[in-house]
Structure 1
Amino acid sequence: MSRQLFECLEALGAVAETGSLTRAAETLGISVSQASRRIKNLSDEWDVALLERAGTATILTPEAARLLEEVAPVMRAFDNLERRFQRTRADEVSVEAPSAVASVVLAPLGAAFSELGLRLQLRATDRPNRTPEGELDFSIVLQPEPPVERVIATRLGTMPLVCAASPDYLERNGDITHPDDLSTHAVLTALLERRPTFEPVSKDPKDLKDPADSDRPDLSVEAARALGRVPETLLTSDLSTHDALLNAALSGAGVAVGLPRCLAHAALRRGDLVEVLRDWRMPAPVAWLLRAPQRYPSPRIQTVVTLCRRQWSETPGLAVEKRPVL
């Protein structure tokens, strides 16, 4: 199969997947005119109509659908062969991930990858690439929603955050039970884009005390809840990685705010760190496993996705919610 024929069939497959010539072009990283020309060349060469309209969508004709089904094994083999020659090793899987995720989720998977004949190339960075391409197979990002263009995203779960300090720090500076208490402490953060926010662990109004029973009877339940949600605290140290945040807290430098529970799990169990503000919680970042779209993904791709999802669900300090895969 020539490279030109492969590209024409690839464009046809992209339209079949996206239902749009424009989105197909975006997925392949080419212009709409290029995608259209590739499909037209294929149509002219085989003298058969390949596309038709169905409302606002562009779909394959029955002839084109049968054609694509028949050439799928060849396309998959061609795609795998091309990727093999692009790499120094065909069994290599490259992944970028935030340092906390790399430490507790991906690094422990090294043995599992080896058993499957795969070699894991792991890059820990707290500024991961949002569009895996070229030599990068996967990227894990922490954000509320996945990117909407040029990637396939699998939701792994959430990464709960805690506030913690060393026992000696708390002995010197006192306990912390309310977010407002942070205003008198040395606060340590990492990778926060805005001031930390908190909410009570119980968000059900019936579980909150009646304002008449509190020392601020003039506050409504909603006002009482809002009072502690955004502490007016001075952020004294903002570190570049979550690993640095953990080490700073262990050294007694201050209170780590927004420390991933998965990263602090062992230290909390040993008593090297003490969790504070246990009746409050911070919004938990959502983790997405991103990969570049392929018309005919190899079994290796699904293996990596399955391993990552399983490891996420089994790692202490991480959370999984049953939601559909995008």
Structure 2
Amino acid sequence: MDAPNLNRLRYFTATVETGSFTRAAERLGVAKTVVSHQVARLEEELRVALLKRTTRKLHLTDAGRRFHERAMAILRDADDAFAEAAQGVETPTGTLTVTAPSDYGRAVVAPAMAAFLARFPAVRAEVTFDDAVLDLIDAEVDVAIRLGWLPDSGLQMRRLGSFRQLLVCTPDMARRAADALSPDALGAMPWIGNRLLRHPLDWTFSREGEERRCTGSPVVMADKTPATHACVLAGCGLAVLPDFVVAADLAAGRLVHLLPQWSLPDGGVHAVFPEARFRSARVRHFIDVLADIERRRSA
């Protein structure tokens, strides 16, 4: 993008943020006529109205709202590029915004963030640990960590690693299941289902080319992974949980891995980004830190 078009994006976004050409001009230190003329030129080049003009206020059109989101992303990338070129391309600065599922966020992303911030003290972070899938551009997120099997969304992504899915329960519950030597024999046991999953009670186990299906009988249906985890620890029943959620419980003997000779499909760990030609140093270095943690965790 050439300099005039980049400047027009700045005039347009300043106008949207301030609500008028006059205040945008004051913010940018130019004449009001410059701002209004450049926004008009932008609309002419795009052949679409971006703003509705009234005597009192400017309002975005639907096309203007979509364009504003993209313009903000382009300007953030450009600002990052200039800032990092001035300080050295490998010196992360600014604010890193990250979203991740609540369970993975607490177990893996938080320690990764601590290691990253200790290494690059000029960076600040904003984190959201939530199971909702955010629109990265609308939420102004630098990187989202997403687990499992991703649909083709058109977003850019990098696979960081994988996690194992483990069938677990308390030691007391394991004694009740002691006679069940194969997955299909566990269907009558009390199960805890996680509604976040597409098929929370249907599982296919494999061993040396052999597959067995198991459909659990739920006594509890939980809304999220932390709730599922809590119910398993309380002894409500069996559940399938990611390895990073139950690793400490298995090591401490609070939970038992049932049928360890059988395996469930692994899930992927992915870093997902808004589409951009330029990826800021803070994002690249944070992903490298997280990928290194994933490699050591899975080793």
Rounded to whole Å, the distance in 2 between the matches of 1:192 and 1:306 is 28
Unpaired runs of 5+ residues, structure 1, are 10-33, 39-74, 82-89, 204-224, 320-326
Rounded to whole Å, the distance in 2 between the matches of 1:140 and 1:126 is 10
Residue equivalent to 1:49: none
Q: How do 1:230-241 residues align onto structure 2 when only pairs under 5 Å count?
A: 231-241=214-224
User: Residues 99 and 125 of structure 1 are in contact (CA less than 8 Å); yes or no, is this contact kept in structure 2?
Assistant: yes
Relative to structure 1, is the Cα distance of residues 277 and 8 closer, same or farther in structure 2, using a 3 angstrom cutoff? farther
Q: 1:243 aligns with which of 226, 234, 242?
A: 226
Q: CA deviation at 1:165?
A: 0.7
Rounded to whole Å, the distance in 1 between the matches of 2:159 and 2:295 is 12
Cα displacement string for residues 245-289 of structure 1 (whole angstroms, at most 9, x for unaligned residues) = 222111111111x20111111111111111102122222222211
Relative to structure 1, is the Cα distance of residues 2 and 156 closer, same or farther in structure 2, using a 3 angstrom cutoff? closer
Q: CA RMSD of the aligned region, Å?
A: 3.3
Q: 1:142 aligns with which of 142, 147, 151?
A: 147
Residue equivalent to 1:185: 189
Relative to structure 1, is the Cα distance of residues 297 and 168 closer, same or farther in structure 2, using a 3 angstrom cutoff? same
Name the one with the larger strand percent.
2
Residue equivalent to 2:23: none
Q: CA deviation at 1:7?
A: 7.2
Rounded to whole Å, the distance in 1 between the matches of 2:229 and 2:221 is 12
Relative to structure 1, is the Cα distance of residues 263 and 146 closer, same or farther in structure 2, using a 3 angstrom cutoff? same
Q: 1:93 aligns with which of 96, 103, 112?
A: 96
Rounded to whole Å, the distance in 1 between the matches of 2:2 and 2:179 is 70
User: Residues 267 and 273 of structure 1 are in contact (CA less than 8 Å); yes or no, is this contact kept in structure 2?
Assistant: yes
Q: CA deviation at 1:101?
A: 1.4
Rounded to whole Å, the distance in 1 between the matches of 2:181 and 2:205 is 13
* Aligned-partner SS, 2:275: coil
Residue equivalent to 2:54: none
Rounded to whole Å, the distance in 1 between the matches of 2:138 and 2:293 is 24
Letter in 1 for 2:128: R
Relative to structure 1, is the Cα distance of residues 2 and 198 closer, same or farther in structure 2, using a 3 angstrom cutoff? closer
Letter in 1 for 2:190: A
Residue equivalent to 1:72: none
Sequence identity (%): 23
User: Residues 146 and 270 of structure 2 are in contact (CA less than 8 Å); yes or no, is this contact kept in structure 1?
Assistant: yes
Q: 1:109 aligns with which of 95, 109, 112?
A: 112
Q: CA deviation at 1:185?
A: 1.0
Residue equivalent to 1:272: 254
Letter in 1 for 2:222: L
Q: CA deviation at 1:103?
A: 1.7
Q: 1:198 aligns with which of 186, 198, 204?
A: 204
* Aligned-partner SS, 1:103: helix
Relative to structure 1, is the Cα distance of residues 301 and 176 closer, same or farther in structure 2, using a 3 angstrom cutoff? same
Residue equivalent to 1:48: none
Relative to structure 1, is the Cα distance of residues 143 and 262 closer, same or farther in structure 2, using a 3 angstrom cutoff? closer
User: Residues 154 and 288 of structure 1 are in contact (CA less than 8 Å); yes or no, is this contact kept in structure 2?
Assistant: yes
Q: 2:267 aligns with which of 282, 285, 288?
A: 285
Cα displacement string for residues 33-82 of structure 1 (whole angstroms, at most 9, x for unaligned residues) = x99946xxxxxxxxxxxxxxxxxxxxxxxxxxxxxxxxxxxx8447667x
Q: 1:307 aligns with which of 289, 292, 299?
A: 289
User: Residues 183 and 259 of structure 2 are in contact (CA less than 8 Å); yes or no, is this contact kept in structure 1?
Assistant: yes
* Aligned-partner SS, 1:278: coil
User: Residues 136 and 142 of structure 2 are in contact (CA less than 8 Å); yes or no, is this contact kept in structure 1?
Assistant: no
Q: CA deviation at 1:292?
A: 1.2
Rounded to whole Å, the distance in 2 between the matches of 1:176 and 1:120 is 48
Q: How do 1:99-178 residues align onto structure 2 when only pairs under 5 Å count?
A: 99-115=102-118, 116-117=120-121, 118-129=123-134, 131-145=136-150, 147-149=152-154, 151-172=155-176, 174-178=178-182
Relative to structure 1, is the Cα distance of residues 3 and 270 closer, same or farther in structure 2, using a 3 angstrom cutoff? same
Relative to structure 1, is the Cα distance of residues 312 and 128 closer, same or farther in structure 2, using a 3 angstrom cutoff? farther
